């Protein structure tokens, strides 16, 4: 066998989330790396999915999703973002936000198009953009404030810009973009006639201010493809049900990408997600309040062991500066050591950067706090014990 496989795909490393989860398993460590809750999502939703399996819902769903789920996505856009969405023509149900991202980018990008991305970034963005022949234009946020560098962002845009990929609330920083920042991005989209792929999977996990979608800002309705994930909104990450909301002409092309990627998503899960999206406001408030409490437990605990914890206003994640405990190790070596010796797994933050865009920070790791309170407390106790032994 001599002919090369697809070089870009073949050269990709295994995702850091899988690498660190395997390391956690090998060392029986508490896994605060890969972002998934360690409790089940709402039992009534699981029951709806189970009932639907026994209810003649086992053949292909319609290409763009079950009507009841598309209706629920449209209603949720109205309830939480004041957006008027046509459930028939402006919603596409996908197999997770990962597929939604791929389909949205496939719908937009042609080889040679510039795509603006903000670092640190979720690990599938760059490979997907590059695979489609897009040219990434990276703009880096600086810790600890992660404020948007407006001049650098403006400089990244040009007539060649097809789209920005914007993630708010942001993985891995926990940043929630301010309305002013969103409006600045909107002004650039208007000026350069570009689109926005809005990864809003953590839309229901903001802790200080309600989530604002770029799509809800003036003139942005026609330029945005907004992506949600039932995995995050209902703590059911294994279900892999996502949804794209976009103006009809864009949604029609997203649907064509979806027809070749997956075609249709599991119907019983779609039915249950429709049920979930129709839950009352209290459910969504409790989800965020619960997660804010977990952020506080973990952040206070990490501070008590001497780590500097960066601010976090949303998502499942906090970043911490490891310098006080790392003894000169970089983030990758420290994350390995913490798993092997303390029994706590994190994600080295350099994984969220493109080294071709300048040396990434090597002093940050990402902790997931979407875990039971006692597990978070145990993780802190383990780090405390390990740090005291190391000093002694």
Alpha helices in 202-310 (DSSP H): 230-233, 248-261, 267-277, 281-304
CA gyration radius, the chain = 21
Q: What is the DSSP string of 176-211?
A: ---HHHHHHHHHHHHHHT-EEEEE-TTTT-BSSS--
Q: How far apart are CA 15 and CA 9, in angstroms?
A: 12
Q: What angle do CA 151, 154, 159 make, to 5 degrees?
A: 155
DSSP-derived secondary structure letter, 55: T
Structure tokens at 54: 């026994």
Give the nearer residue to ligand GLN in terms of CB position, either 34 or 173: 34
Q: How far apart are CA 90 and CA 205, in angstroms?
A: 24
Residue of minimal CB distance from ligand GLN? 35
Give the nearer residue to ligand GLN in terms of CB position, either 99 or 113: 99
Residue 199 touches which of ligand PMP, ligand GLN, none (Cβ within 5-8 Å per kind): ligand PMP
Residue 225 touches which of ligand PMP, ligand GLN, none (Cβ within 5-8 Å per kind): none
Give the nearer residue to ligand PMP in terms of CB position, either 137 or 366: 366
- Which residues from 161-190 bind ligand GLN, rule CB under 6 A? 171
206 binds ligand GLN (CB under 6 A): no
Residues forming the site for ligand PMP (CB under 6 A): 35, 96-98, 122, 167, 171, 199, 201, 229, 231, 237, 240, 242
CB atoms within 10 A of CB 263: 12
34 binds ligand GLN (CB under 6 A): yes
Smallest separation, CB 237 to ligand PMP (Å): 5
- Which residues from 1-30 bind ligand GLN, rule CB under 6 A? 15, 17
Residue 134 touches which of ligand PMP, ligand GLN, none (Cβ within 5-8 Å per kind): none
Smallest separation, CB 326 to ligand PMP (Å): 25
Q: How far apart are CA 143 and CA 186, in angstroms?
A: 23
94 binds ligand GLN (CB under 6 A): no
| Cβ within 8 Å of residue 75, ≥6 positions away | 277, 278
134 binds ligand GLN (CB under 6 A): no
Q: How far apart are CA 70 and CA 62, in angstroms?
A: 11
229 binds ligand GLN (CB under 6 A): no
Give the nearer residue to ligand PMP in terms of CB position, either 198 or 342: 198
Residue 242 touches which of ligand GLN, ligand PMP, none (Cβ within 5-8 Å per kind): ligand PMP
Q: How far apart are CA 68 and CA 56, in angstroms?
A: 16
What is the size of the binding site for ligand GLN (CB under 6 A)? 5
Binding site for ligand GLN (CB under 6 A): 15, 17, 34-35, 171
């Amino acid at each position: 066998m001599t002919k090369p496989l697809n070089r870009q795909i073949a050269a990709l490393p295994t995702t850091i989330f899988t690498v660190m989860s395997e390391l956690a398993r090998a060392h029986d460590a508490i896994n605060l790396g890969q972002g998934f809750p360690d409790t089940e999502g709402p039992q009534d939703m699981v029951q709806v999915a189970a009932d639907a399996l026994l209810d003649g819902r086992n053949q292909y769903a319609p290409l763009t999703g079950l009507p009841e789920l598309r209706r629920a996505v449209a209603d949720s856009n109205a309830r939480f973002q004041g957006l008027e969405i046509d459930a028939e023509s402006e919603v596409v149900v996908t197999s997770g936000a990962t597929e939604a991202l791929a389909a949205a980018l496939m719908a937009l990008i042609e080889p040679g198009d510039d795509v603006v991305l903000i670092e640190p970034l979720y690990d599938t963005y760059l490979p997907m953009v590059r695979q489609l022949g897009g040219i990434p234009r990276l703009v880096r946020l600086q810790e600890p404030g992660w404020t948007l560098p407006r001049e650098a962002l403006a400089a990244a845009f040009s007539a060649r810009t097809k789209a920005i990929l914007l993630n708010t609330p942001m993985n891995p920083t926990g940043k929630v973009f301010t309305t002013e920042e969103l409006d600045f991005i909107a002004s650039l989209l208007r000026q350069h006639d570009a689109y926005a792929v809005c990864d809003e999977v953590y839309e229901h996990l903001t802790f200080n201010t309600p989530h604002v979608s770029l799509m809800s800002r003036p003139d942005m309705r026609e330029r945005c493809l907004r992506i949600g994930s039932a995995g995050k909104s209902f703590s059911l990450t294994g279900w892999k049900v996502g949804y794209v909301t976009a103006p009809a002409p864009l949604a029609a092309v997203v649907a064509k990408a979806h027809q070749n990627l997956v075609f249709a998503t599991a119907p019983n899960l779609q039915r249950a997600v429709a049920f979930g999206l129709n839950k009352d406001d209290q459910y969504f408030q409790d989800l965020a309040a619960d997660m804010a409490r977990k952020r506080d437990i973990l952040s206070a605990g990490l501070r008590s062991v001497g780590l500097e914890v960066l601010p976090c206003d949303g998502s499942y994640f906090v970043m911490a500066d490891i310098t006080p405990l790392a003894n000169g190790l970089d983030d990758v070596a420290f994350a390995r050591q913490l798993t092997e010796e303390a029994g706590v797994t994190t994600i080295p933050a350099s994984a969220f950067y493109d080294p071709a865009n300048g040396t990434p920070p090597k002093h940050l790791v990402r902790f997931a706090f979407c875990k039971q309170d006692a597990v978070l407390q145990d993780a802190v106790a383990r780090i405390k014990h390990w740090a005291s032994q190391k000093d002694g």
